[in-house]
């Protein structure tokens, strides 16, 4: 689910077009709402409300009965619907392996490549500070 949440809606849709999708219906069209973000003082101290974030959610049912749910940050109802469709397809014995192989695995590789590039760019700007000790007594 994390891979799908980090992918672009167009990328998910393009990969799903290569599959023969079964009949499905939207149980919940993509809709937007807010969730409260919580934080902790010092990382593990007293909890506090940090603020709200916009979230989209959707639900899809396959003709064979599998139900999938999709959530994503932002206001992209179509992306939430595509995530829900992938969730339902992964649960299906007929489509689970194909979705993992043709949709999720390539998106995971793409995400890992982007993260490695960002890490390399960040590492290139690393500065090491050190203090030299003078020999004056």
Dump pLDDT digits (tens) for 77-127.
Answer: 999 999 999 999 999 999 999 999 999 999 999 999 999 999 999 988 888
Q: In what order do the strands lie in the sheet with 67-73?
A: 24-40, 47-62, 67-73
Residue-averaged pLDDT of the chain? 92
Cα distances (Å, whole numbers) of residue 104 to 21, 43, 109: 15, 32, 9
* Residue 99, both tokens: 């979705």
The percentage of residues in the chain with a pLDDT greater than 70, rounded to a whole number, is: 96
pLDDT band at 60 (very low <50, low <70, confident <90, very high): very high
């Amino acid at each position: 689910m994390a891979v799908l949440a980090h992918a672009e809606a167009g990328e998910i849709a393009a990969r799903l077009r290569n599959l023969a999708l079964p009949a499905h219906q939207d149980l919940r069209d993509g809709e937007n709402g807010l969730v409260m973000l919580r934080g902790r003082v010092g990382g593990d101290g007293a909890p506090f409300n940090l603020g709200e974030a916009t979230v989209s959610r959707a639900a899809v049912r396959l003709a064979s009965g599998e139900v999938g749910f999709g959530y994503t940050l932002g206001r992209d109802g179509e992306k939430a619907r595509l995530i829900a469709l992938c969730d339902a397809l992964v649960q299906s014995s007929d489509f689970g392996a194909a979705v993992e192989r043709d949709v999720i695995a390539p998106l995971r590789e793409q995400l890992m490549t982007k993260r490695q590039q960002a890490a390399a760019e960040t590492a290139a700007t690393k500065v090491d500070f050190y203090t030299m000790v003078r020999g004056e007594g």
